[in-house]
Chain A
Amino acid sequence: MHIVDGALSTPVVVAGAALAAGGIALGLRRLDMDRMPAAGVLSATFFVASLIHVPIGPSSVHLIMNGLAGIVLGWVAFPALFVGLVLQAVFFGFGGLTVLGVNTVTIALPAVLAALACRRGVTHPDARVAAVWGGLAGALSIALTTAAVALVLTLSGEAFVPAARLVFVAHLPVMAIEGLLTAAAVFLIHRVRPDLLGLFTRPAVAGEGA
């Protein structure tokens, strides 16, 4: 779902960059000394996760897991996913340079919004309930991401509307899969390290327990 250079109109590119800068600034404000290593290592984890391919029908898709990133990282998902996109663009040639801002917003903003919407459910004492809400957040963030990509394309020109619609429909199975995976991941984290689910939602400096 990377958008490439040259496809979008200038106002869309500029607005995307401004929004991304705002989100990144919000995320950076939550990064204190104690949580910087955790943010970096988790950001690396989501980078690695995005290289995992899972089977879907006769083909396979790579994971995005932005819903889970939103649940675990909160607003820090913005700078973390931005870093991932920069590395992918520069070293893998995926995506583009002028569209980095737009790509960051279309991936990170849905992640943050979906996680905020499902925040209560994900931290529910019952792991099963939490898993259902996690799955919802995972599917919702992919739905919002494809909708955002479609919107960005549509804003750049009427000619993109059919392509935008197709992008959305083509991602319906991806939503289902990401939802299932996120639900399972939240279930496991809930059982093993529940504090991971609220690590970056605490605003102040958090003392280390262990």
Chain B
Amino acid sequence: MSDLLNGHAAAGGAAGAGPRALDPRARIVAVVSFAVTVVALTTFGALGAALGLALGAMAWARLPAGPTLKRVAVMDGFIVLMILMLPFTVPGQPLFTLWGLTASLDGVLRALEIALKANAIVLMMLALAGTMDAVTLGHALSRLGLPDGLVHLLLFTVRYIAVLGDEYGRLRTAMRARAFRPRNSHHTYRAFGYLVGMLLVRALERSERILEAMKCRGFDGRLHLLDALRFRRADALFAGLWGLTLAALAWIEVAHGAAF
């Protein structure tokens, strides 16, 4: 699973390799600009190039191909229904017939377009942003102008996900010790409801202790973010190349569109 749940930072790999060496802010801006560009693309040449770029970024970030693609496939699982239905619901030139339903060419193309966009963006996100630890993400977002309250909430959440994950594990162990086995019964749902309720109660009690401890240490409502984010020459180079890459995607789009 993710490092979020294990409680330790740095999402694998050497700190100085590939995109991990770059300024997190540059990486976040790069992912967002990539996503906005890709969503606007419509030709398959450009979308294919975008997916190629995302796969390249995955290799550059030295993400293990198997688990990463599996994760992307999980996301595809969410949309597979919609993708499979589109060919039959978009009107257009009939392509084939299945169980009396006619699939249109336009529908198949539309489904393919969505799948390409979604996969390219998620892969790029995992490669550039998913490779920073969650606290760095918070700091970088703060430097990019996200409101303080939201950044603090993010940092608190990140800090306590692993703690609450452990709490959940203890409660599940206690349930197993009482021979609880989940099945399709009212008893199961009530037990899970109590579990979530208990988790919230324990979370609240923990947060009271946290607040007191923080106040003892002079907490005045502000988290002072200490970091050494620096925009170096390598980041400027990356930003420049990134701009050129996105421009190239746009060029493929226009050139391809003209050829159609």
A interface residues, Cβ below 8 angstroms from B: 1-2, 4-7, 10, 13, 24, 28, 31-34, 36-45, 47-49, 51-52, 54-57, 63, 65, 68, 72, 79-80, 82-84, 86-87, 89-98, 153, 158-163, 166-167, 177, 180-189, 192-193, 196, 199, 208, 210
Contacts and interface: CB of A to CB of B under 8 A. Distances in A.
Given A5-B39, A183-B193, A84 B157 contact: yes
Interface of B: 2-5, 11, 31-32, 35-36, 38-39, 71-72, 74-75, 78-79, 81-82, 85-86, 88-91, 107, 110, 113-114, 116-118, 121-123, 125-126, 129-130, 134, 137, 147, 149-150, 152-161, 163-165, 167-168, 182-184, 186, 188-201, 203-208, 210-212, 214, 219-221
Given A4-B78, A5-B39, A93-B74, A87 B204 contact: no
A196 B75 contact: no
Contacts of B196: 49, 52, 63, 65, 68, 181, 185
Secondary structure call for the A interface: helix
A24 B113 CA distance: 31
Residue of A4, A13, A47, A83 most packed against chain B (CB within 10 A):
A4
Nearest to A65: B196
A208 B85 CA distance: 54
Contacts of A52: 168, 192, 195-196
Given A40-B159, A54-B192, A92-B2, A79 B149 contact: yes
B6 to A, nearest CB: 12
Given A34-B211, A90-B137, A6 B186 contact: no
A181 B182 CA distance: 13
A1 B158 CA distance: 23
Given A7-B114, A28-B149, 15 more contacts: A1-B78, A2-B75, A5-B39, A31-B153, A36-B156, A40-B152, A41-B160, A44-B203, A48-B167, A83-B157, A97-B121, A185-B193, A185-B200, A189-B200, A196-B200
Nearest to A49: B196
A57 B31 CA distance: 40
Contact of A57 (B5, B88, B130, B184): B184
A42 B78 contact: no
- 5 nearest CB pairs, A to B: A40-B156, A184-B193, A6-B117, A33-B221, A185-B197
A6 B207 contact: no
29 contacts: A2-B75, A2-B78, A4-B75, A5-B35, A5-B39, A38-B204, A40-B160, A41-B206, A42-B200, A43-B157, A44-B156, A47-B161, A57-B184, A68-B200, A83-B150, A91-B2, A91-B3, A96-B118, A97-B31, A159-B86, A160-B82, A163-B82, A163-B89, A180-B189, A188-B193, A193-B201, A196-B200, A196-B204, A208-B212
A188 B153 contact: no
B35 A33 contact: no
Given A93-B130, A210-B208, A56 B184 contact: yes
A162 B186 contact: no
A208 B79 CA distance: 46
A57 B185 CA distance: 10
A5 B121 contact: yes
A177 B189 contact: yes
B71 A48 contact: no
Nearest to A43: B157
B89 A160 contact: yes
A192 B201 contact: yes
A140 B48 CA distance: 41
A72 B207 CA distance: 14
Given A7-B114, A42-B207, A79 B153 contact: yes
A153 B79 CA distance: 12
A28 B211 contact: no
Contacts of A97: 31-32, 35, 121, 125
Nearest to B155: A40
B4 A91 contact: yes
